[in-house]
Chain A
Amino acid sequence: MSLSIGFDTGLKSLLTAQAALQTIGNNIANANTPGFARQQVILGEAAPVTIAGLSFGTGVQVSEVRRMVDEAVEARLQSHRAVLSRLRVERAGMRQLETMVSGAGGTGLSSLLGKVFSSLSTLATHPEDKVGRTDVLANANTLAGTLRELQSQLRGFRRDAMIDVELRLAEANSISTQIAELNSQISTLKAKGVQAHGLADRRQALLNDLAQILDVTTIADANGSLRVLAAGRTIVSGKSHFDLELKQDSKGAPEIRVKGSSGALAAGQGAVAGLLKLGESTTPVIQKQLDSFAKSMALAFNRIHSTGMPQDGGFQSLQAFNTPEQGAAAAALPFSAAGFPFDVVQGKLFVNVQNSATGELSKFAVDVSPSDSLQQFANKIEALPHLSASIDSAGHLRITAASGYRFDFSPRIDPNPGATGGFGSTYAGVSSTGSEPYAVTDGSSLSVAVDGGSPQMITFSSGQFADISKATAEEIAAAINSQVTGATARVDHGRVVIASNTEGILSSIQIADGSGAPNAVLGFSTTLDTGTKVGASPTLSGSYTGAANDQWTFKADSDGTIGVTEGLTVGVYDAAGNRIATLEVGEGYSAGTKLLIKDGISVSFDAGEISATAGDAFDADVLAQSDTSDVLSALGMNAFFVGSSATDIEVRPDLLADPTLLAGSLSGAAGDGANLTRLLALQDLEMSEIGGSTLSESLTEMVSNLGFDGRRAGDLEKAQESLVADLSRQREEVSGVSMEEEMANLVRFQQAFDAAGRYIRVVQDATASLLDLIR
């Protein structure tokens, strides 16, 4: 056996120990390098030699410098770091949103809303107090301003989030570029059979950084390069990389795309996902809630305010604040398509027209439908006595009362319903008892004898009716008026009343059925009715406290004189026909004395004669809400707030300029604060528009939901941090550098090196001894 083999063996040992020491040194040097995985020298026995049939070992050799990595743990860690990154961004954003929405002490909007109601409560004690009115309006204006400011902050927050997304995408693109470059270098080296652990470590560090930004996965290629996918889309492949960009989809929503491709990346994990969620999901929900709150509040306040009256009473002229989206040009469009801030629904608007000199009030019900146009609505108002309506070039509706008249939309009771004829009037009169439509036949006739004169034949012919078999009360009245003299027919709450034009005891009316017996469906009393010196003149008073609108019908139960006839009563019926009160107005009743009916409404009668035989009756609308169509809110007529979202809500500017316009009254009296009380009741009103909550509850819900979401984000972040820490520990166990371990190995390989050196010396000495033998 040659001694040179011994040299070889010793040299191999020296080189192996040196390589091990180099690896240890590298490990120690990179102990704190991000992404570094410790390396380990794997030793192997050198190939043996066979001499004389015997096999001899030839020492040690470095089989491999192994990079100690658990790929599964690495992948999991990368994935969970992306989750953690998203959660951290979300939690930080949630904290910012909380600070914005909840305000100082967590009570911003709620506190401001409370101040509005508190100032309303104070004003209700002295409705005529101008300072109190200013206080209410200032508090409401502050609330509206805060909503606008908050909405603006949220818009800014979303904008900032998108800017942040763009910055992070730029960073991701830069990292992708570097990874592609490293791929190229690694694959080149690998082709040459060189291990590129350092480059792999750098690439891993970059991947870790990328995972903070995007939801990335990797696929190892055979040539050593890594394919990087973000949300399933390849962004690095070999030495190529594909930049990402922030774009908007067809609806304007932001989305991330690979440059040059059309598909959007699904937001998964990473900071970008967190930012997108904050900007496009969390914040819009809050904005929507704020808008919903602002809209509901505006609608609720406007519903009440628009039906109230300013300090100096009804309106001589009133202009709508809102216009169709397309201005006057859209006045012919249905409300449902005209783009008003609030929906118009099928309902009624009650309009009061009052003679300023006499105080006489007329109440009219206007049917409103969402299919009506602004122009049609204006025409309906125009058709009311003493009112005119016009639409200006911008599309504002203006209602104007004739000189000497004022109008309002208050639900106040009409104190003198059915002023002439029909119920104990000084004018003789009879009313129909049948309900429209009336099935009258062509050519049928009715005899009307007025003031003792000869009977006048009223003939109904098809030409007078749209459909004579379904005649309306208005058509019947018009047909009678076109033929009768000395009397007038009118419609009172759906009934036809024929009354003599003469007042007093000489006044009389007598109806008789003629050919075709139309009275069988009309139901006029055929008993002679005579006028009286004193009318029963019912007077209603009080404020209706019922929950829903109703129509009460008052009918004489028998014939007699109020205050005189023993046992004389008047029955009161609701719209469903239920008798709700019996009023004793006979002997013992002092004319003019108020009799309470129910729900805050009283009635008094003058000492006239009433007749059940003549069908004496009158109706009264008792209103909880005088605009069931929301048309006033939609048009912004006598509104409290204008605008319908947190972006544009504000107190009506002219209210702020003139607090006397605050509609705190329902009667127009200076000290009447009935409408303030209705506004105040909004604090307890559960509104379907905000899920059955009150306004205050809605704000509490919004803030507490944000709090719970923030709390949940914080909890998730903590849980994720623990998970990442655990995975990091697992990675450290495999890839981390242990100084103790490295020190021990250092000593071990130092000793190995020393031993190899000694061995070589021994071989050298042996070789020298041999050489000495030769000399």
Chain B
Amino acid sequence: MRVTQQILFDQALTGVRRHSEAVLLQQQQIASGRRWLHPSEDPTAAAQSLTARARRNALEGYTNAVMAVRDRVLAGADALQQLSGLLAEVKEAAVASQNTTLTDADRAVIAEQLDGILTQVVEIANHRDGFGYLFGGTSTETPYAFVQGKITYQGDDALQKVPIGDALQLATTVSGPQVFSRAARKASEFFGGITGAKPGTGTDSALNRSKLSVLHESTTYGDGTLLGGGDSASGLRPAASSPNGDTVIGPPGAHSIQIDEPSKTISLNGGPAVPFIGSETDLSVADGKGGIVRVNVSSLTSGFVGTVSIEATGSLSTDGGATRTTIGYSTNQIVVHGETKKITNINSTGIRYAGTEVVDHVGTTNLFEAIAGLRDDLRGYGEIPVAERQTTLRSRQREVERNLENVLVAISDLGARAKVAESAHERLTTVRDQISGVISNLEDTDLAEVVVNYNQSQLALQLAQAAGSRLMQTNFLAFLQ
């Protein structure tokens, strides 16, 4: 092999260049703190790093989201905690209001207290954080509002669910209906029971309380063949005021009237005998149990003594008579409210008298209605039939308690979500930190290792330079000299 100076020089240069490159790379690593500056220096690490960074970005997004969710959830829970305190006061007031020794003045004071609480409850229902109403569902710009005197929900029942993980979403709030008007319908109850109407077999859709009007329509006597529905045998006829004045209702035979023409007495359903002189065209006959008929006795058959069967038709209405359903004496009759289209199912088989029944659609009274209802019952205490007073107030107490339970459930729900958020935050932070560690391993310089390598490379470079230099000095010419 011929060895020329050029070969020696090239070899020395190659060695110096290689070691210089290593020193330069290590200097870059130390100066930048990164293992690589270009993906080509470690493509695998670059790809892994990008994937890890994308994952960390996603996790950071989730982490920010979960903190925002937690803040909103806690804001909602705080508001509902205040609400539960207020409802506890309402419950105490409801219990106190049932004390029979209370005076009207005492009840007025409690009613005023309830009015103030109701105002605060509305304020809580319209609680806002920095972005919108907390209990408006996703309609966060529309609060509860007074519409025609009623506190009406303007929001929606949807919940804004926020992704806080790859397959995990968490709702930021509870909607107004969940807190303030969550229904848990039970069998409806009738407070009065004077008409004979009972809850039907169907399930109502009406809410809170309805006033069921059992309306008298017409009365016919006996065979009903006389003008206006009179009885041909006795000559008894309904008075002109009968449609609006009678209170009896029932199929033939459900009611009867006893006539003793010779002694000029008449009685309803065996009730007190009412005397007459024989020329009365509008005589009121009551049975002492709430039944009244207005009769025309001016054409009674002379000498008639006997009992005349009565058939009285009626209708049912839950909107004050605007929409009527003819009583069919069946186990389930649907009565529709003309405006709201809400229905109340009635068992009309036992209806015997006209009148008004308060129907409590148990479990459907919202929180505002429960407080306002109790307040109004206390203010109008005197107008409630005596027999219904305690039942009415107990019912109000029951609705307040049920609504308080709803609030507590909502608080518990929000508390659970806050815990989920906390747990998710902890998990996300841990995973994010782990990924940061992975990224650091992929990207960051191991300074101790690089510094050692740097020293080695520097030493190698110096040796290569020294060897090259020495080699250049040694040649045959120098020997000859």
Give A contacts to B, CB under 8 Å. 31-32, 94-95, 98-99, 102, 105-107, 110-111, 113-115, 117-122, 124-129, 533-534, 541, 543, 561, 563-564, 587-593, 606-607, 665, 667, 669-674, 677, 680-681, 683-684, 696-697, 699-701, 703-704, 706-711, 713-714, 725, 728-729, 732-734, 736-741, 743-744, 747
Contact = CB atoms under 8 A, between A and B. Distances in A.
Contacts of B201: 564, 587
A413 to B, nearest CB: 11
Contacts of B36: 106
Interface in B4-46: 4-7, 10, 14, 34, 36-44, 46
A124 B188 CA distance: 42
Interface in B297-322: none
B51 interface: yes
B68 A117 contact: no
Contacts of B42: 707
Nearest to B363: A590
Contact of B50 (A110, A714, A743): A110
Interface of B: 1-7, 10, 14, 34, 36-44, 46-47, 49-51, 53-54, 57-58, 60-62, 64-65, 68-69, 72, 130-132, 136-141, 156-158, 160-163, 166, 169, 172, 183, 185, 200-205, 332, 334, 336, 341-343, 345, 443, 475-477, 480
Contacts of B6: 31-32, 732, 736-737
B203 A590 contact: yes
Given A111-B53, A117-B61, A564-B203, A725 B10 contact: yes
A51 to B, nearest CB: 42
Listed from nearest, the 4 A-B pairs whose CB atoms lie closest are A707-B39, A710-B40, A114-B57, A671-B140
Contacts of A94: 40
Contact of A117 (B14, B43, B57, B204): B57
A121 B67 CA distance: 11
30 contacts: A114-B58, A118-B64, A119-B61, A121-B162, A122-B65, A124-B162, A564-B332, A590-B183, A590-B204, A591-B204, A591-B343, A606-B205, A669-B139, A669-B140, A669-B156, A671-B160, A673-B160, A674-B160, A680-B163, A703-B50, A704-B50, A711-B41, A713-B40, A728-B10, A729-B7, A738-B2, A738-B4, A738-B5, A743-B475, A743-B477
A67 B348 CA distance: 130
Contacts of B336: 533-534
Nearest to A673: B160
Given A114-B54, A533-B334, A587-B202, 20 more contacts: A98-B39, A105-B443, A111-B53, A121-B61, A124-B160, A124-B162, A124-B163, A126-B68, A533-B336, A563-B203, A606-B341, A672-B138, A674-B138, A706-B39, A706-B40, A708-B40, A732-B7, A733-B4, A736-B7, A743-B480
Given A592-B205, A732-B4, A95 B141 contact: no
A126 B67 CA distance: 12
Contact of A125 (B68, B166, B341, B477): B68
A725 B14 contact: yes
Contacts of B14: 725
The listed residue with most A CB atoms (<10 A of its CB), out of B40, B53, B136, is: B40
A551 B141 CA distance: 33
A115 B57 CA distance: 7
Nearest to A744: B476
Contacts of A703: 39, 46-47, 50
A621 B374 CA distance: 45
Contacts of B62: 121
A592 B183 CA distance: 11
B10 to A, nearest CB: 7
- In this complex, the member of B60, B65, B72, B161 whose beta carbon has the largest number of chain A beta carbons within 10 angstroms is B65
B424 to A, nearest CB: 13
Contacts of A606: 205, 341
Contact of A677 (B3, B130, B163): B163
A120 B61 contact: yes
Contact of A670 (B44, B50, B138, B162): B138
A683 to B, nearest CB: 6
Contacts of A533: 334, 336
Nearest to A117: B61
B132 A671 contact: yes
Contacts of B43: 704, 707-708, 710-711
Contacts of B10: 725, 728-729, 732
A733 B4 CA distance: 7
Contacts of A118: 57-58, 60-61, 64
A72 B54 CA distance: 54
Contacts of B158: 543, 667, 669, 672
Nearest to A118: B61
B64 A707 contact: no
Contacts of B203: 563-564, 587-591, 607
Contacts of B156: 667, 669
A739 B5 contact: yes
A122 B172 CA distance: 13
A704 B47 contact: yes
Contact of A124 (B7, B47, B53, B65): B65
Given A98-B39, A564-B345, A670 B4 contact: no
A587 B68 CA distance: 44
Contacts of B5: 31, 736-739
Contact of A122 (B53, B61, B136, B341): B61
Contacts of A725: 10, 14
Contacts of A672: 138-139, 158, 160
Contact of A707 (B47, B162, B169, B185): B47
B343 A739 contact: no
Contacts of B44: 704
B154 to A, nearest CB: 11
A737 to B, nearest CB: 6
B40 A684 contact: no
Most chain B CB atoms below 10 A, which of A106, A543, A670, A738: A106
B131 A677 contact: no
B162 A677 contact: yes
Nearest to B55: A696
Contact of A99 (B38, B53, B58, B137): B38
B480 A669 contact: no
A416 to B, nearest CB: 14
A725 to B, nearest CB: 7
Nearest to A729: B7
Contacts of A740: 475-476
A563 B202 contact: yes
A133 to B, nearest CB: 12
Contacts of A564: 200-203, 332, 334, 345
B343 A563 contact: yes
Given A95-B40, A563-B202, A670-B141, A106 B46 contact: yes
B50 A700 contact: yes
A262 B126 CA distance: 82
Contact of A699 (B50, B136, B166): B50
Contacts of B204: 563, 590-591
Given A563-B345, A606-B205, A703-B50, A106 B38 contact: yes
B166 A739 contact: no
Contacts of A737: 4-6
Nearest to A735: B4
B161 A110 contact: no
A607 B334 contact: yes
Contacts of A681: 163
B65 A125 contact: yes
B51 A697 contact: yes
Nearest to B129: A126
Contacts of A99: 38
Contacts of B341: 534, 606
A300 to B, nearest CB: 16
Given A564-B345, A607-B334, A743-B480, A673 B162 contact: yes
A478 to B, nearest CB: 33
